Amino acid sequence: MEDIKVVKTRPEPEKRIRKHTIVVKVMHNFGVLARITGLFAGRGYNIESLTVGRTHEPNVARITLVVEGDERVIEQIIKQLRKLIETLRVRDITDIPHIERELALIKVHTADEKARDEIMRLVNIFRAKVVDVSTDTYTIEITGDNEKIEAFIDLLRPFGLKDIGRTGTLAFIRESASRKLDKYTAE
């Protein structure tokens, strides 16, 4: 019998599809957002959430993207983002301890007093607030992670949702995790 020779190869990236939170710092130049979204569209990747805003640094913007894909897809997205001239830094923070928040405005029907009372109970439980009132609707503001907002919307659904607006996810690495990362990685 011949001996079987085992050759070790680089492990293939995980094939499990999941949502990833990617933070990109870019020069705040004209057209940079269009180039980034075009990069995704051109490769057939869907952006679940996109939040953009200036940072404390002059002419620097922070983009938080939530995208769905396996490790190979995410790896390709990050490589493509790093190729853009305006890109200063790209980081997939999905597996790093971080804080995520989103803001939602939800307009819900308030048909009767019982419905209004129940909606106000939910508003209090979820630490939301009513920001506008009419004779037949409440507009409610809520902040939190995606799961909290989805749970709140699901509980309001039976009352009749009139409209929903959401900002998209904003994320920061927790400071304790950031210190550990800085200790072991050079960026």
- The answer on 74 and 31 residing in a single domain is yes
Instruction: Please indicate, yes or no, if residue 107 is contained in any of the structural domains.
Output: yes
Q: Looking at the structure, do residues 74 and 49 belong to the same domain, yes or no?
A: yes
Tell me: do 122 and 159 sit in the same domain.
yes
Distance (Å, whole) CA 113 – CA 174: 43
Type of residue at 107 = K
Residue 186 lies in a domain: no
Q: Spell out the residues 6+ positions from residue 138 whose beta carbon is closer than 8 angstroms to its own.
A: 107, 108, 110, 116, 119, 123, 130, 132
* pTM more than 0.95: no
CA distance 65 to 176: 22
Q: Where are the beta strands (DSSP E) in the chain?
A: 18-27, 47-54, 60-69, 87-92, 98-109, 129-133, 137-144, 161-166, 170-173
Whether residues 51 and 110 fall in one domain: no
Please report where in the chains the tokens 């979820």 appear, as a residue. Answer: 126
Q: How many domains does the chain have?
A: 2
| Structural domain harbouring 135 | 99-170
Q: Answer yes or no: is pLDDT of 14 > 60.
A: no
Q: Which one of 76, 95, 114 terminates a domain?
A: 95
**Tens-place pLDDT, residues 67-126:** 988 888 889 899 999 999 999 999 999 999 999 999 999 999 998 899 999 999 999 999
Q: Classify residue 6: in a domain, yes or no.
A: no
d(CA 108, CA 104): 12
Looking at 35, 64, 95, the residue that finishes a domain is 95
187 has a pLDDT exceeding 90 = no
Q: What is the pLDDT of residue 16?
A: 84
Q: Are residues 154 and 86 in the same domain?
A: no
- Report if residue 153 sits inside a domain: yes
